[in-house]
């Protein structure tokens, strides 16, 4: 990686814990590889089909149906020396996280329990249900966050070679372990229905296990009316297409 992609200038956070945009810097990948094991650094950067690493990043089989490819938003790389502990947060996108090295332990909360059980210390002005909490999931202050004592939760461990589906708007906390942690996640826009469903179901058997990222452009031009409708009806919508997604994963 250092020899082939060393000149890539990547976005790096100078902290592996919490959330602090002021800690962001940029450095060549070769420089990062030289120091990441001895410094508190976390490479978190967005990739695209024209990115130097696009030959080495892949879209897995479950997302190769047209109904998903049309809604791809972002592919991101996460690279550290392990022991990263970001804040408890949620995202407004469907998400698949694939681990290339290391292990990720997740704590998850179904979006139907988000209010008022999760106290947001910072939320989006455009989507009040999106944001993050400064609670320490490993040592919860029940005086400050009393509702969390009654909140149902799930746990999952994602190992090298695994991909994990994380539904949109689910709160989650991710602890990366190992001496090196390398993962790529794929975000796509939530929809109330899977487009081209019949075409997808007919083509499942013939789909490859994965395809290079460089073959698939991102579609990040979500229309304003789509966003308004999606967030406006959020409470009525459960995560869609679970059965179909489960079928093509198996």
Chain centre to alpha carbon of residue 88: 13
53 vs 182: CA distance, rounded Å: 13
203 vs 109: CA distance, rounded Å: 33
- Walk along the chain (250 residues) and give the pLDDT tens digit of each residue: 888 888 999 999 998 876 656 688 999 999 999 999 999 999 999 988 888 888 888 999 989 998 889 889 999 999 999 999 888 888 889 999 999 999 999 999 888 775 555 667 777 666 667 788 888 888 888 888 888 888 888 999 999 999 999 999 898 999 999 899 999 999 998 887 788 888 888 888 899 999 999 888 887 655 444 444 444 444 444 444 444 444 344 4
Phi, psi of 240 (to 5 degrees): -95, 160
Alpha helices in 144-240 (DSSP H): 197-203, 224-232
Delimit the domains of the chain by residue range. Answer: 49-249
Q: Which residue has the tokens 């698939």?
A: 216
243 vs 62: CA distance, rounded Å: 12
25 vs 183: CA distance, rounded Å: 20
Chain centre to alpha carbon of residue 143: 30
85: alpha, beta or left, given left = phi > 0 and alpha = psi -120 to 50? Answer: beta
204 vs 30: CA distance, rounded Å: 39
pLDDT, position 239: 42
Asked whether 216 and 188 are in contact (CB, 8 A), the reply is no
Asked whether 40 and 69 are in contact (CB, 8 A), the reply is no
pTM: 0.82
Alpha helices in 26-174 (DSSP H): 29-35, 66-69, 114-117
Strand 171-188 relative to strand 72-80: parallel, antiparallel, unpaired?
antiparallel
For residue 87, what is the DSSP state?
Answer: P
Task: State the number of CA atoms in the 13 A half-sphere of 148 facing the CB.
Answer: 21
Distances from the Cα of 195 to the Cαs of 110, 200, 244, in angstroms?
24, 9, 12
Architecture of the CATH domain 49-249? Sandwich (2.60)
12 vs 42: CA distance, rounded Å: 6
pLDDT, position 175: 92
Chain centre to alpha carbon of residue 9: 21
Dihedral angle sign, alpha carbons of residues 24, 30, 35, 36: positive
């Amino acid at each position: 990686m250092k020899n082939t992609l060393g000149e890539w200038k990547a976005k790096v956070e100078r902290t592996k814990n919490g959330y602090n945009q002021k800690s962001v810097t940029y450095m060549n990948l070769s420089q990062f590889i030289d120091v990441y094991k001895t410094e508190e650094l976390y490479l978190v950067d967005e990739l695209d089909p024209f990115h130097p690493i696009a030959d080495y990043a892949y879209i897995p089989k479950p997302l190769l149906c047209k109904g998903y490819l049309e809604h791809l938003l972002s592919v991101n790389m996460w690279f550290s020396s392990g022991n990263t502990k970001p804040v408890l947060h949620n995202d407004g996108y469907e998400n698949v996280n694939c681990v290339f090295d290391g292990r990720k332990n997740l704590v998850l909360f179904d979006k139907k329990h988000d209010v008022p059980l999760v106290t947001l210390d910072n939320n989006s002005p455009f989507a009040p249900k999106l944001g993050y909490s400064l609670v320490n999931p490993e040592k919860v202050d029940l005086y400050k966050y009393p509702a969390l004592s009654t909140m149902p939760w799930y746990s999952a461990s994602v190992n090298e070679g695994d991909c994990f589906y994380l539904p949109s708007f689910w709160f989650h906390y991710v602890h990366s372990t190992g001496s090196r942690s390398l993962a790529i996640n794929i975000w796509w826009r939530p929809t109330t229905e899977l487009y081209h469903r019949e075409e997808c179901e007919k083509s499942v058997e013939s789909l490859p296990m994965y395809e290079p990222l460089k073959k698939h452009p991102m579609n990040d031009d979500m229309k304003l009316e789509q966003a308004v409708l999606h967030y406006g009806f959020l409470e009525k919508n459960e995560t869609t297409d679970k059965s179909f997604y489960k079928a093509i994963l198996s």
